[in-house]
Amino acid sequence: MWKIQLPTGEYLDSVPPLQFELNNQVFSNSDSSVLPGSFSFPVDLDLTPANRRLLDFPDLVTNSRNWSTYEGCWVYADGVPLFYGTLSIRQATARKVSITIVANPLAALKSVPLNTLDLGGDRTFASAAAVKTHAKDTALSPLSYDYIFFPIFNPDYIDHPDYSQPKSYFQNFYDPVAGAFDVDDGYPALMPFARIEYVLEQIFAAQDFAFRNRWQSTDELRQAVLYNNRSLWTSKGIETTINLQNHVSDTPSTTLLRKIMSGFNLGLFTRIFTRTIDLVPLRDLVNRPPAHDWTPYAIAGEVLEGRDDQPEYLCWKTDDSDGAFQWYAKQVKPDTADVLGTITTPDLLTVPDGIYYVEDQHAYFSVGARIKHLYTTLGCAPTDTGKRVFEAECMALWDAHHGWESFVGAATENYDMRKMPHIRMQGTVSYEVPGDPDPEQISTDNAIPDRLTIYRGMYDVWGGTDDYPLASGLPYDTDGNTIGAVSLRWDGTYGMYETWWRAWHQMLIAGKHVTQTFTLPITELVKFSFEDKVRVVNMDYFVKRLRVQKLIGRGLALVEASMVSTV
């Protein structure tokens, strides 16, 4: 029998047989428009005297209070606690009351914009000089702070840049000779970038369930950050207070969470008895051994289903507001027959004349009288065939590739390449027009887009110094050496597809999709999580959907499972 226990410990009367369906949202073919981890089911109850009292007389027209919501209800099946959720009333008559129970540990996140989260409050410094010193400290020891300062190539940050000045091309201009961040009223762009790990922690901080981030398990991933374009500069100079609420977007928390999950192929799994919420790379689940053997509970053979229509290639979603994206996309890609081979950046100085694909740049270059950048690949994977595509949101910033000599005034030509985040978007800042004999204060205001990149550490970017804070979506230094294991491009050895998607994507394409019916002990339902594999006879499966049809006594439930095999 079914029972519903209210937070007071009392039980509702006359609970009818329940039927409900649990869906594993990681198998959704959408752009992750539904946040995984929740489900709801409706229940119609007789409005007995006990139920009227327990539900605060919902049928009384004279009752001026709104219907109550009951958080912390338990649903029991044959005496076993099965679900924990929130009960709300949908409709009431003199004889019946319709309720809905939502089992969703994440419900409180839905309407919380990022810029209203508790992100540590004001961090106050003694002076503008102290802020710049602190900025350098975050670059030297990034995991000691909730945010990091580093340069971003953005020549469109203000309306009137003075392109004769090197800092006019940057947010967070860093002088490699002085070894310090440099900002003034001529180009006033200085801001911190919040680490994604910290933002995720704060999103879940107020939840009853403990959040476990099993995705950002390496220092490289922990140094992934969110872009922002709100400067600390004011008409009085650098603000001496940093509040991260000013440096994140107004995107709802669950929306950012979905965007990150869609790009890195993550699943969100809740366990009500351990009261945990786990963020897990789905690739990690494919090669796991099964957690449950349901062979003894199968009462019918498997029924083959048609495979879901899986996207053939995966990309970042196009951001039409970013001029850098448009600039790269408009470059002319050479014919494959004209490309002489694949090389790395240092080879550009020694190879014969011709066209080459430079692997660590994700770009094509021509070598001749001068070295010319032809095309940067935006990197769909595995192939761009014109067929169905999955477009992940929270797109990565592209990386600028320019000879450094024009920015530091080198006397001789040098073809070392910078790799740093590149965006062409105005910021939020007050400033004066450089060179204006009668300067006036100008303010620009632009919304913060949800974009990301990875801070790599201090590297030799300009030649002759290791003292430069480098962020890049590419895991290579300026000499083409590998400095990481994660690329934010989709193609390539370290790309998003190979790193996060291949094992899962290939399983969905090659796996056998079946439906099978089981008489499962309710205790098995309690132990089950959608991140678990189950074994049936000699095959391992992930469960896409569980339909609980009825209780059949002796602690058993009739359950239909829709599954996909892992081989």
Residue whose entry in the numeric block shows the structure tokens 């790599």: 456
In a domain, 412, yes or no: no
pLDDT of residue 404: 39
Backbone angles phi, psi at 147, to 5 degrees: -150, 165
pLDDT digits (tens, 9 = 90+) for 433-484: 877 777 788 889 999 999 999 999 998 776 666 689 999 999 988 777 899 9
pLDDT, greater one: 270 or 366: 366
Q: Given 85, 104, 123, which residue is the final one in a domain? A: 104
Task: Answer yes or no: are the C-beta atoms of 168 and 187 closer than 8 Å.
Answer: yes
pLDDT band, residue 30 (cuts 50/70/90)? very low
What stretches of 272-329 show up as alpha helix (H) in DSSP? Answer: 283-286, 323-329
Q: Could you write out the DSSP letters of every residue in 462-530?
A: SSS-S--EEE-SSSB-TTS-B--S--SSSSSTTSHIIIIIHHHHHHHHHSPEEEEEEEEEHHHHHH--T
Instruction: Tell whether 456 is covered by a domain.
Output: no
Kindly compute the dihedral angle of the four CA atoms of residues 502, 506, 509, 510, in this order, to the nearest 10 degrees.
180
Q: What pTM does this model have?
A: 0.86
Whether cis (ω within 30° of 0) applies to the bond prior to 382 is: yes
Q: How sure is the predictor about 34, in pLDDT bands with cuts at 50, 70 and 90?
A: very low
Nearest to 183 by CA among 138, 114, 145, 238: 238
Is pLDDT of 29 > 70? no
104, 138, 156: which is the final residue of a domain? Answer: 104
74: in domain: yes
Q: Which two tokens stand for residue 361?
A: 């740049």
Q: Which pLDDT does position 296 carry in this prediction?
A: 95
In a domain, 339, yes or no: no
Please indicate, yes or no, if residue 397 is contained in any of the structural domains: no
Q: What is the pLDDT of residue 333?
A: 78
Strands 147-148 and 39-46: unpaired
The Cα–Cα gap between 89 and 43 comes to 10
Asked if the structure places residue 437 within a domain, the reply is no
Q: Which residue has the higher pLDDT, 41 or 471?
A: 471
- 249-281 pLDDT tens trace: 999 988 899 889 989 999 888 777 778 889 999
CA distances from residue 50 to 3, 23, 68 in whole angstroms, order as listed: 14, 33, 16
Tell me: the pLDDT tens digits for 142-185? 999 999 999 999 999 998 888 888 888 899 999 888 899 999 88
The total of structural domains in the chain comes to 2
**How far is 152 from 150, CA to CA, in rounded Å?**
7
Question: What pairing do the DSSP bridges indicate for beta strands 96-103 and 152-153?
Answer: unpaired
What tens digit of pLDDT does each residue of 496-547 get? 999 999 998 888 888 888 999 999 999 898 888 888 999 999 999 999 888 8
| pLDDT level of residue 425 (50, 70, 90 thresholds) | very high
User: For residue range 70-105, what is the model confidence (pLDDT) as tens digits?
Assistant: 988 889 899 888 888 889 898 999 899 999 887 766
Average pLDDT, the chain: 85
pLDDT at 40 over 80: no
CATH of the domain at 546: 2.40.30
**Domain final residue pick, 104, 131, 159:** 104
Task: Please give the Cα distance from 330 to 424 (Å, whole number).
Answer: 15
Residue 303's domain comprises 285-310+505-565
Residue 61 in any domain: the answer is yes
- Determine, yes or no, domain membership for 207: no
Q: Is the dihedral of CA 305, 309, 314, 320 positive or negative?
A: negative
- Collapse the DSSP code of 87 into the 3-class scheme (helix H, G, I; strand E, B; otherwise coil) and give the result: strand
Does the pLDDT at position 110 exceed 90? Answer: no
For 232-248, how does the pLDDT look when each residue is reduced to its tens digit (9 = 90+)? 998 889 999 999 999 99
